[in-house]
Amino acid sequence: MDNQTESLFQEENNKSRVDILAITPGDFQLELVHQLDDKDASAIIDLSAFQEGDLEKNARFNATSVRKYFHYPKTFPLLARHKDIPVGYIVGITLESLNKESWVKCDDHWGLGDTAYIHSFFVHPKYERLNYSRILLYVFTNWLSGLGFRFISGHEQEEILDKYYSSCEKIKHFENWQNQGQDFWYFRKKI
């Protein structure tokens, strides 16, 4: 964020409000985010730009959307840190909160309140070899299970499904998902 932008995240203590869900011996920490400070919000925006593959493009998250999606209990946002630096995130939302999306009706669990939709999931490639993505997904799904959710769902490319969501149910194939030029599957997986 530039200095011209009024802070949307600033708190009195100037620190994000989080609950620590897990810490590994290698200084990897997973946090449930209640509210972000400017520093963490900027780091997430930068990570989302990196995820898109071009740091000059508009990021997936911006100052408004990062505040909207990293705000438990309205969403289910986990932030991954390595040595106190944000390196990844996963954000879930209830399937029912997507009631304005036409595709959501393809899931016969819509309306049952037992499915969390994965809105965003990214870990910086530098940390892939350390299995941080798998650890983040594992902690996320176990935490959701403790809240009473029975399934996760989302849209992913087939090769990602095979890597992270083995034994998932492929519900519907979407060609050129959201005009990205790539095909995605809508999937559901028991947790």
Whole-model pTM over 0.95? no
pLDDT single digits (tens) 115-146: 999 999 999 999 988 889 999 999 999 999 99
Distance, CA of 103 to CA of 101 (rounded, Å): 6
pLDDT single digits (tens) 40-50: 999 999 999 88
**Which amino acid is residue 146, in one-letter code?**
G
Chain mean pLDDT for the chain: 87
Q: What value, to the nearest 5°, has the Cα angle with vertex 65 and ends 128 and 168?
A: 45
Instruction: For 149-185, give one letter per residue: b (16+ CB within 10 A) or e.
Output: bebbbbbbeeeebeebbeebeeeeeeeebeeeeeebb
- Residue 78 is predicted with a pLDDT of 98
| List of residues 6+ apart from 5 with CB closer than 8 A | 63
Task: State the residue for tokens 């620190």.
Answer: 15
pLDDT single digits (tens) 94-112: 999 999 999 998 999 999 9
Closest CA relative to residue 43, chosen from 11, 89, 83, 76: 89
- Residue 178 is predicted with a pLDDT of 80
The CATH code belonging to domain 17-190 is 3.40.630.30
Q: Which two tokens stand for residue 93?
A: 């939302």
